A and B are shown apart, each in its own frame.
Chain A
Amino acid sequence: MSANPVRIFVPVDAAALSVGAEAVAQAIASEATKRGLSVEIVRNGSRGMLWLEPLVEVETAEGRIAYGPVAAKDVPSLFDADFASGGAHPLRLGKTEELDWMKRQQRLTFERVGVIDPLSIADYRAYGGFKGLEKALSLTGGEIVDAVKASGLRGRGGAGFPTGIKWKTVHDASATQKYIVCNADEGDSGTFADRMLFEGDPYLVIEGMTIAAIAVGATRGYIYLRSEYPHAHRTLQRAILKAEAAGLIGASVLGSQHAFHLEVRLGAGAYICGEETSLLESLEGKRAVVRAKPPLPALQGLFGKPTVVNNVLSFAAVPWIMDHGAQAYADCGMGRSRGTLPIQLGGNVRRGGLVELAFGISLREIIEDMGGGTLSGRPIRAVQVGGPLGAYLTAGQLDVQMDYEALAAMRAMLGHGGIVVFDDSVDMARQARFAMEFCAKESCGKCTPCRIGATRGVEVMDRIIAGTEVPENIAVLRDLSKLMIDASLCAMGGLTPMPVLSALDHFPEDFDRPPLPLAAE
């Protein structure tokens, strides 16, 4: 091997692997061997341009050059075109940083994802990692909490609660043991930012949780990860071991007097565990039944101890805030939504992926300009924002800005930042039925409005779809929805009516169905 092998980046992100990145990496390795070329294949995270996966990049004197989507069979022709020096080829996209999708973004949280080797601590450090933690170690817990408050960071899991206020509560509580819990039960359909972050830059979340631990005086932390993410699980486990070995976490954080022990725990296929109190029950080894609040988890959380429970993206924003200052973060965004939001664009869309931008971009810009409309080429009919509990919007409502308050004003929600696009073949009565069915399957069963209401909701929707006494059944559906909203214990039952009612209000024609002919089934 020569002294300077060419560095070639092939993502190890699960989405890239799902369309053949492993075969591409192997083909590049064997083709290079065959041709006697010295290459170093780096398995990076995904840049978030998922329609271009597998996206292969080569490091050249003028920067990283992207090729994609690359199939294993394209590899010999890429070598023929001298792609290792950035040579011309039909799959050549240009310099990665200058691609329109990348240029339009403001990547704070995702700045390293796709750039570095996810498990290399040296890479992480070289790209600014641990600066936030080093800063935090020079401050008191109260000063860290004040910085997070001043940044305006709000919980990225969906509820949008100010992170600094939560931390302050835990900071001020006195207890023999406090915990930091990362909610990585990213169960909302249409969301994958947490997964991409774990697979592409796992040390960032570890750093964010460690800063939280120092701020509030916690010594133990858990990442509760959904079992549907085996790739993220492997990466996180290895990252934690490496971080411990390097003295970043463990008995002494970077040589300080602070101890922080971190563990990943796997969920077991229960959507409700994204709700923080049921997540805590699950971590304690119990049925994940929602707890009544109060007491707040900040005061009586895991094993009854004061606990910070935050989303992956909330913890991940903290190192940047500590490093660059609260004001720099607060300078992004609009109104009461400060900073950046990692938006995930999926469903029936031509160019889907991850976009990190300051709050305030319109849905239309994301879906039409960046996403390029539907994959099927048919007109957009509906867009669901914020996961299975989020509202369905019409193609006419897409000028709304991505911001907690702007969406709430139109009875929608931002949630975890997922956008799912549907074309005109969608049947919105079926989508409303699915929302109820999902709630019936995933309800923890503690409160009646959710447990029974969702099952009744499926039955009512079945009657509407069959065209049976439609106006009367729509009245029942509205009444049932109101009850679920008003009387459910948590967001599962309380928000399930949001997709249902938005479908009914915005797409009434899909609910106005003639009776099915009796002989049909």
Chain B
Amino acid sequence: MAGYPAWDQDSARMIVAGLAHLEGATLPMLHALQDEFGYVDPQAVPLIAEALNLSRAEVHGAISFYHDFKTAPQPARIVKLCRAEACQALGCESVVDDLARTHGIAVDDHHAGDAIVETVYCLGNCALGPSALVDGELIGRVDAARIAGLCQHGRAHS
């Protein structure tokens, strides 16, 4: 997968300006910034606040409310593992245990370096779980070995 460019305040400003005409533009802006840079730098807060005539607190509040928005650069490879009920019924918690025991991968460990396995709740693949989402691709019937391989793959390409 391609790495993200470093945060650039000028291009961030252009992204924000390009979306300012939308109704309720905050989330589209945050998504666009995160798509571009892989995260939303705190420097985005005054940009968005000014463009939308909001207080910085309102913008910061929105960023901090949603699980998706990250405020620091993320590992090159993010594996989202579903741990909701339908995947629980198919043993996703055993996958989590197996990842820790056999592969030394702790789920939701944000200090893990260049790959992270993150908990999500439901990817809409409830009949073919356990499921994971990697770089926008959905994977069904995953096990710990497959996820560990995906993490390794992320390392090789980062």
What A residues does B67 contact at CB under 8 A?
Answer: 268-270
A14→B84 contact, CB < 8 A: no
A265 to B19 alpha-carbon distance, docked (Å): 13
**B65 nearest in chain A by CB position:** A287
CB distance from A14 to the nearest CB of B (A): 5
Interface centre among A231, A349, A420 (most CB of B within 10 A): A420
What B residues does A348 contact at CB under 8 A?
Answer: 89-90
Q: Which of B9-17, B96-104, B129-137, B148-156 contacts A (4 or more CB under 8 A)?
A: B129-137
Does any Cβ of B come within 8 Å of A57's Cβ? no
Does any Cβ of B come within 8 Å of A150's Cβ? no
CB distance from B99 to the nearest CB of A (A): 19
Contact with B along A402-419 (1 / 0, CB 8 A): 000000000000000010
Does any Cβ of A come within 8 Å of B72's Cβ? no
What B residues does A101 contact at CB under 8 A?
Answer: none
A269→B68 contact, CB < 8 A: yes
What A residues does B30 contact at CB under 8 A?
Answer: 268
Contact with A along B75-109 (1 / 0, CB 8 A): 00000101011111110000000000000000000
Does any Cβ of A come within 8 Å of B8's Cβ? no
**A196 nearest in chain B by CB position:** B124
8 Å CB interface, B106-123 against A: 120-123
Q: Which among A19, A188, A270 is the interface contact of B122 at CB below 8 angstroms?
A: A188
What A residues does B23 contact at CB under 8 A?
Answer: 220, 284, 303
Does any Cβ of B come within 8 Å of A346's Cβ? yes
What B residues does A352 contact at CB under 8 A?
Answer: 126-128
**A224 nearest in chain B by CB position:** B27
Given A18-B139, A268-B30: A375 and B90 within 8 A (CB)? yes
What B residues does A282 contact at CB under 8 A?
Answer: 27
CB distance from A101 to the nearest CB of B (A): 12
Does any Cβ of A come within 8 Å of B138's Cβ? yes
**A383 nearest in chain B by CB position:** B89
A18→B66 contact, CB < 8 A: no
What B residues does A422 contact at CB under 8 A?
Answer: 88-89
Does any Cβ of B come within 8 Å of A45's Cβ? no
What B residues does A51 contact at CB under 8 A?
Answer: 127-128
Contact with B along A176-207 (1 / 0, CB 8 A): 00000000001111111011000000000000
What B residues does A353 contact at CB under 8 A?
Answer: 127
Contact with B along A23-41 (1 / 0, CB 8 A): 0000000000000000000
A388 to B86 alpha-carbon distance, docked (Å): 10
What A residues does B65 contact at CB under 8 A?
Answer: 270, 287-289, 444
Q: Which among A53, A187, A347 is the interface contact of B86 at CB below 8 angstroms?
A: A347
8 Å CB interface, B1-53 against A: 23-28, 30-31, 52
A50→B127 contact, CB < 8 A: yes
Number of residues of chain B lying within 8 A (CB) of chain A:
45
**B122 nearest in chain A by CB position:** A189
B66→A346 contact, CB < 8 A: no
What A residues does B61 contact at CB under 8 A?
Answer: 286-287
Q: Which among A186, A267, A287, A347 is the interface contact of B124 at CB below 8 angstroms?
A: A186
Given A15-B140, A418-B126: A434 and B120 within 8 A (CB)? no
CB distance from A112 to the nearest CB of B (A): 19
B127→A17 contact, CB < 8 A: no
Contact with B along A213-240 (1 / 0, CB 8 A): 0000000100000011111000000000
Does any Cβ of B come within 8 Å of A431's Cβ? yes
Given A269-B66, A303-B23, A434-B85: A18 and B121 within 8 A (CB)? no
B84→A189 contact, CB < 8 A: yes
What B residues does A285 contact at CB under 8 A?
Answer: 24-27, 52, 54, 62
A192→B124 contact, CB < 8 A: yes
8 Å CB interface, A60-112 against B: none
Contact with B along A258-300 (1 / 0, CB 8 A): 0000000111111100000000001111111100000000000
A431 to B133 alpha-carbon distance, docked (Å): 24
What A residues does B66 contact at CB under 8 A?
Answer: 267-270, 288
Interface centre among B52, B65, B124 (most CB of A within 10 A): B124
A18→B136 contact, CB < 8 A: no
**A288 nearest in chain B by CB position:** B65
A268 to B69 alpha-carbon distance, docked (Å): 7
What A residues does B123 contact at CB under 8 A?
Answer: 228
Does any Cβ of B come within 8 Å of A481's Cβ? no
What B residues does A14 contact at CB under 8 A?
Answer: 124-125, 138
Does any Cβ of B come within 8 Å of A507's Cβ? no
B126→A228 contact, CB < 8 A: no
A442 to B87 alpha-carbon distance, docked (Å): 18
Does any Cβ of B come within 8 Å of A345's Cβ? yes
**A193 nearest in chain B by CB position:** B124
Does any Cβ of B come within 8 Å of A311's Cβ? no
CB distance from B23 to the nearest CB of A (A): 7
A421 to B136 alpha-carbon distance, docked (Å): 27
CB distance from B46 to the nearest CB of A (A): 16
A15 to B26 alpha-carbon distance, docked (Å): 31
23 of the cross-chain contacts (CB-CB < 8 Å) are A14-B125, A17-B138, A50-B127, A50-B128, A189-B85, A191-B122, A192-B124, A195-B124, A220-B23, A266-B27, A268-B67, A269-B68, A269-B120, A283-B24, A283-B27, A344-B127, A347-B126, A347-B129, A352-B127, A388-B84, A418-B126, A423-B89, A434-B88
**11 more A-B contacts (CB under 8 A) besides A228-B124, A420-B89?**
A19-B140, A187-B121, A227-B31, A227-B68, A228-B122, A231-B138, A287-B62, A287-B65, A347-B89, A388-B84, A438-B121
A interface with B by C-beta (< 8 Å): 14-15, 17-19, 50-51, 53, 186-192, 194-195, 220, 227-231, 265-271, 282-289, 303, 344-349, 352-353, 375, 384, 388, 418, 420-423, 426, 431, 434, 438, 442, 444
